[in-house]
Structure 1
Amino acid sequence: MKQLSEISEREYFACVGRRPGMFVGRTSFHLLTAFLTGYDQHAVRHGGHGLAGWHEWLVARRGRECSHAWPGQVLHIALPDGWDNISDLPPEDEKQAIKVLFQLLDDFTAEREATQGSQVTG
């Protein structure tokens, strides 16, 4: 089994997505976005990429801008009919939002890995 320091961000996020409760206690979209924001801040503080470009990528993926930070962008994609309270989503919306969050993170990190790989080899 690999150590955390030996896995890519993509692998790490997949690990969190498979067992989110292990990372945040009660599994909720709100808690997971807070966890990921903390992850981002720590990475940037220590010289990593964190989630640099994530908000812009989500806006491009959605095809339009709005005043929401990245968690709201994810919810627009996951719940196109809207939501009332990000910290108290109905169970079915919560499940959908979390599923889409980790699908989007996987797509984002896969694209970033491919771009970084082509810059190294190119």
Structure 2
Amino acid sequence: MTFLEGYDLGSSGALLDGFTEWLLDRKGEDSSFGWRVLVLEEAFPGSSVHWSELNEDQERRAVAQLFILLISFLKDRVGQPGE
């Protein structure tokens, strides 16, 4: 996750621009949470875990979910007019 955040910072926020909003739109909900929490909510529905509390198997599951969502987001964003 640190690599992803660093890459996003290096691209002046271009990589993850709109990711949180995209996640919220998928859920059809409003929230003040950022993408990190929203990804965990998708990986572990009904649970309130934090990244620092995950065991090794849970972390693998959360990272896999993160990349599934990120790839879907980037595909959707590329398909939008003007991108």
Q: TM-score, normalised by structure 1?
A: 0.59
Q: Which residue of 2 aligns with 1:89?
A: 54
Bigger CA radius of gyration:
1
Q: Percent identity?
A: 34
Label 1:65 to 1:92 Cα distance change in 2 as closer, same or farther (>3 A): farther
The amino acid of 2:82's aligned partner reads Q
**1:26-37 map, 5 Å:** 32=1, 34-37=2-5
What count of residue pairs does the alignment treat as equivalent? 83
Higher helix share: 1
Check conservation: 1:83, 1:89, Cα contact below 8 A.
no
Q: Alpha carbons of 1:85 and 1:53: their partners in 2 closer, same or farther (altered >3 Å)?
A: closer
> With structure 2 as the length reference, what TM-score do the two structures score?
0.82
1:42 to partner: Cα distance: 1.2
Tell me by how many angstroms 1:44 deviates.
Answer: 1.2
Unpaired segments ≥5 residues, structure 2: none
Distance 1:92 1:65 in 2: 29
Higher relative contact order (CA 8 A, sep 6+): 1
CA distance in 2, matches of 1:111, 1:84: 28
Please provide the CA RMSD for this pair: 1.9
Q: Which runs of 5+ in 1 are unaligned?
A: 1-31
The answer as to 2:34 corresponding to 1:69 is yes
Distance 1:93 1:62 in 2: 22
C-alpha displacement at 1:114, in angstroms? 1.1
